[in-house]
Structure 1
Amino acid sequence: MTQAMARPLPFSTQEARILIISDAAPHRNGVGAYYADLIEDLDGTVEAIERISPEIVGDQWQGGWSMPMPGDRTQKLCVPNAFEMQKALREFQPTVVVIPTPGLFGLCGAITARQQGIPVIVGFHTWFEKLAGLYWNRVQGGLTKVYFEWVHKALFRLADRVLVNSEDMIAIARRLGAESVGLMGTPISQSLLQRPVQGGTRQLRSVLFVGRLAAEKNLPAIVQAAIACPQLTFTLAGDGPERDWLDRETAGLSNVRVLGWVEREQITDLIDAHDALVLPSQVESFGTVAMEAMARQRLVVVTQACGIANWTDLAAGLAVIDSGDQLADALQEASALSEFELYARSVSARRAVDAHIEWNRQQWLVCTRLAMSRPSDPTLMTRLLRTVRKSS
């Protein structure tokens, strides 16, 4: 999948007011980080852009009644205050509402926007139905799949436009009823981009993983690589339901360090302190941290299951393996590369990232403008009834 070259937009989006309504707290997971970075990236190109979502203050979740997410107690399911949300929309007066999550914040936000005649863009980042088998038993997984499929169908019927981050997700979105589907890329933090790069990978000695410690991340592959490559040091940063397992498995490995949860501001320092980043996931919609490491001119190893590997322009700056079982071999091969080969790859990776970010910015601005120019369809009940009929 190759993005087209970005060209100057033939219109202005300075009058656009974008409101993002999300169940994901900023920087708490990939979706939360995506929209925090998107707000930063689009700021100045639109009149206003803000977010409504749960917040984490200290260790406490704020933004409504909350309960632990089934299968992962490090995440929360939050129930929004519908009256407060309606008030927030009236006060902010958005020209477009963006819904990136299929939780109660997202569904309530989409319905409220439609009731007020505001265009809706849905960001389809994660196919939760595919993750159900990794977290829940057959009964829980079945109920979870039914819930997410119904909510996605409802959101897609309410949406003027659905944006996804891979060709595979386009097909899934259309199967679930999305009528207008397009590709989006991925933004990353401006502070990460603007900070001077500390060298680049010239020799492989240290390896980093950053992400949720969860089943889909295939942590056993990293443990096996650490055992097979004792000459390398491995650092794992993150938290999640697999933390206890990881602590047990790495207790006797002197070349492995488990940091636990780290704040977003620390990630750039961590990337700069290592020679390579690995993402051996079994399921990964995109893999933003891989692109962040590319921007810092580090060697990046990902599996074919990571959405970033499907972007041809970005894949040229990656080492792509078929599965996590090949991680140790990939690291051994990278260790044998010359300083020139490693550095040349890291420099070309940064160029690819810069082009991708510019293309993504223009994609969002184009979709925002198109949504604003489309005649509003306030027939909320008609859309929802279509969803119910299609689900039955």
Structure 2
Amino acid sequence: MLNLSTLEPSADADEAPAIRGLDAAGLRVAIVSDAAPERNGVGAYYRDLAEHLRAAGAQVELVAPRFRAGRWYGGLTLPLPGDPTQKILVPPLSLVGRRLRRLAPHAIVVPTPGPYGLLGMHFAGRKRTALIVGFHTHFERLTDLFPGWRVRARIAQACLTFSNRLLFANSQLVLANTQEMVEIARSIGAVNLDVMGTSIPRRFLADTAPPLNPEVRKVLFAGRLAPEKNLDAIVEAARRLPQIEFQIAGDGPLRDWVLAQAADLPNLRYVGWVKRRQMLSLIDGVDCLALPSKVESFGTIALEAMARGRLVVVSAHCGITSWEPLNRGLFRVRDGETLADVLMRIGGLDRALRERKAQIARTAAREMNERNLAHWLEVLTRGQALTAHG
């Protein structure tokens, strides 16, 4: 059974006010994405963006596959090389086309180079609608992390690069979340480029964040359980710091390995897959979020933890560190350090210094959210003008 209904904002979202000064009344936007809203950072990004745009008065359709109760909905499912927990879905052309024709969008946003994204590109070309492409993932850098799938992963990577070239060639603008990703997109063929920020769920900004504990007692990792996330660093830290409780939340190809490590370490707990609406309470319940990734184009979960006034540790490979206002609110793993070393360094700081760092992080995250939404509204309004004169 297909389920391609518009993703509606949660009831809790209505508790958060729209950002003052943003007015998107009359704007119609379609986001056509291969990423399910609950399954990865790209999906979460556009769910949050759609929520904020709706609050500003825009009419937004998020056309994407859905994942519910362990099942995928939205078309014919195909395996994703290297990660059996993720799928590529081929959507039904007629049903997606009806939704887009009914909306008659001023701009179509495509953040993924899969079948959904290519269908969004096709519709934009037929209707002479402005096409905005979001470039979030450099697939080639991930290929070497899946040695058992290397041949298939290389083939998939070649197909995705070809799709990206098509999307870039037919778009009015390509947005990437760091300058490094801008340069990668340029090397693939993008011409009109800009840097985008990242949105934060409205509840994360509206609800008062709880204060930090006097000591670092609980550390959280949340994300895909995959080789690029460097989960070994979490396990090694748990072995060295038995006084700290470590939690791992998410799903992915390393789930069984994580379960085995959790069974062996009393201070390591596998939380499992956490629904989006439950993520706020999970973050609020810890003192620190750790993201020791080997490859991370941005690191949305780190920004969300910053918005909740948590201490955040990231590796130098996380794109979020390239945003200097955000970088000031982060703890980075230095050369020669391990995650355990950083956590001990944080533990040795005066409590007032840790609280000050968390306050800097929360302020920077809120400002990033406001600037990003203003930027997106500017981009989409330009797209509206292009479509009107097309």
Q: Output the CA distance in 2 between the equivalents of 1:224 and 1:330.
A: 12
CA distance in 2, matches of 1:201, 1:316: 21
Ranges in structure 2 where 5+ consecutive residues have no aligned partner: 1-18
Q: Distance in 1 between matches of 2:146 and 2:60?
A: 34
Pair 1:259-2:271 in alignment: yes
User: Which of the numbers 219, 222, 247 marks the counterpart of 2:259?
Assistant: 247
Alignment of 1:130 onto 2:131:
no
Q: Which residue of 1 aligns with 2:200?
A: 188
Choose which of 23, 34, 39 in structure 1 pairs with 2:50: 39
Match status 1:367 vs 2:374: no
Q: 8 Å contact 1:54–1:62 — kept in the other structure?
A: yes
Normalised by the length of structure 1, the TM-score is 0.90
Q: Displacement of 1:322 after TM fit?
A: 4.1
State yes or no: 1:118 paired with 2:134. Answer: no
Residue equivalent to 1:296: 308
Q: Matches of 1:244 and 1:44 in 2, distance apart? A: 40
Larger deviation, residues 259-268 vs 316-325: 316-325
1:53 aligns with 2:64: yes
Decide whether aligned partners of structure 1 residues 262 and 48 sit closer, same or farther in structure 2, where only a CA change above 3 A counts: same
Rounded Cα–Cα distance in structure 2 between residues aligned with 1:37 and 1:57: 18
Matched-pair contact (CA < 8 Å) for 1:209–1:277: yes
Asked if 1:226 is matched to 2:206, the reply is no
Q: Distance in 2 between matches of 1:112 and 1:215?
A: 36
* Matched residue type, 2:294: Q
Q: Which residue of 2 aligns with 1:89?
A: 100
Deviates more, 1:90-99 or 1:139-148: 139-148
Figure out how many residues of one structure are paired with residues of the other and give that number.
Answer: 371
Q: CA deviation at 1:179?
A: 1.3
Closer/same/farther in 2, CA of residues 158 and 277 from structure 1, 3 Å limit: same
Matches within 5 A, 1:96-245: 96-136=107-147, 137-200=149-212, 202-245=214-257
Looking at structure 2, the residues matched to 202 and 346 of structure 1 have their Cα atoms a distance apart, in angstroms, of 13
Give the direction of change, closer, same or farther, for the CA distance of 1:209–1:228 in structure 2 (3 Å limit).
Answer: same
CA distances 1:262-321 after superposition (whole Å, capped 9, x unpaired): 111221111111110000000111111111111111110001111111110001000011
Mapped partners of 1:30, 1:347: distance in 2: 24
Question: Cα gap change, 1:86/1:248 in structure 2, threshold over 3 Å: closer, same or farther?
Answer: same
Alignment match, 1:270:
282
Cα shift readout 1:322-351 (whole Å, capped 9, x = no counterpart): 469521100011111111111111111111
For residues 378 and 205 of structure 2, the distance between their equivalents in structure 1, rounded to whole angstroms, comes to 23
List aligned pairs for 1:70-85, cutoff 5 A.
70-85=81-96
Instruction: Return the alpha-carbon distance in structure 2 between the equivalents of residues 86 and 198 of structure 1.
Output: 45
* Between 310-319 and 246-255, the greater mean CA deviation after superposition: 246-255
SS of 2:264's partner is: coil
Higher relative contact order (CA 8 A, sep 6+): 1
In 1, Cα distance between equivalents of 2:249 and 2:108: 33
Deviation at 1:134, TM superposition (A): 1.3
Stretch of structure 1 that moved more, 54-63 or 152-161: 54-63
Alignment check: 8 A CA contact 1:73 1:241 kept:
yes
| Residue identity opposite 2:63 in structure 1 | I
How far apart, in 2, do the equivalents of 1:61 and 1:324 lie? 42
Distance 1:306 1:141, change over 3 A: same
Per-residue deviation, residues 90-133 of structure 1 (Å, max 9, x unmatched): 11110000001111100111112111111100010111121111
2:127 partner amino acid: Q
In structure 2, C-alpha distance between the alignment counterparts of 1:302 and 1:63, rounded to whole Å: 34
Give the one of 332, 339, 356 matched to 2:351.
339
> Equivalent residue for 2:3?
none
Distance 1:102 1:324, change over 3 A: farther
Contact 2:129 2:387 in 1 (8 A): no
Distance, in Å, in 2 between the alignment partners of 1:324 and 1:68 is: 38
CA contact (8 A) 1:217 1:283 kept: yes
Measured in 2, the distance between the counterparts of 1:48 and 1:216 equals 36
How far is 1:47 from its partner? 3.1
Distance 1:211 1:47 in 2: 30
When residues 327 and 158 of structure 1 are mapped into structure 2, their CA distance, relative to the original with a 3 A threshold, is same
Which one of 7, 12, 20 corresponds to residue 31 of structure 2?
Answer: 20
Question: What is the TM-score when the length of structure 2 is the normalising length?
Answer: 0.91
Task: Name the CA distance, whole Å, in 2 between partners of 1:322 and 1:148.
Answer: 33
- How far off its partner does 1:195 sit? 1.2
Q: Name which of structure 1's ranges 236-245 and 68-77 shifts more when overlaid on structure 2.
A: 68-77
- Identical residues among aligned pairs (%): 42
Task: Select which of 283, 287, 298 maps to 2:295.
Answer: 283
SS at match of 2:369: helix
Structure 2 residue identity aligned to 1:307 = G
What is the CA–CA distance in structure 1 between the aligned matches of 2:226 and 2:25, rounded to whole Å?
41
SS class of match (2:209): coil
- Tell me what 1:384 maps to: none
Give the secondary structure class of the aligned counterpart of 1:269. helix
**Deviation larger for 29-38 or 107-116:** 107-116
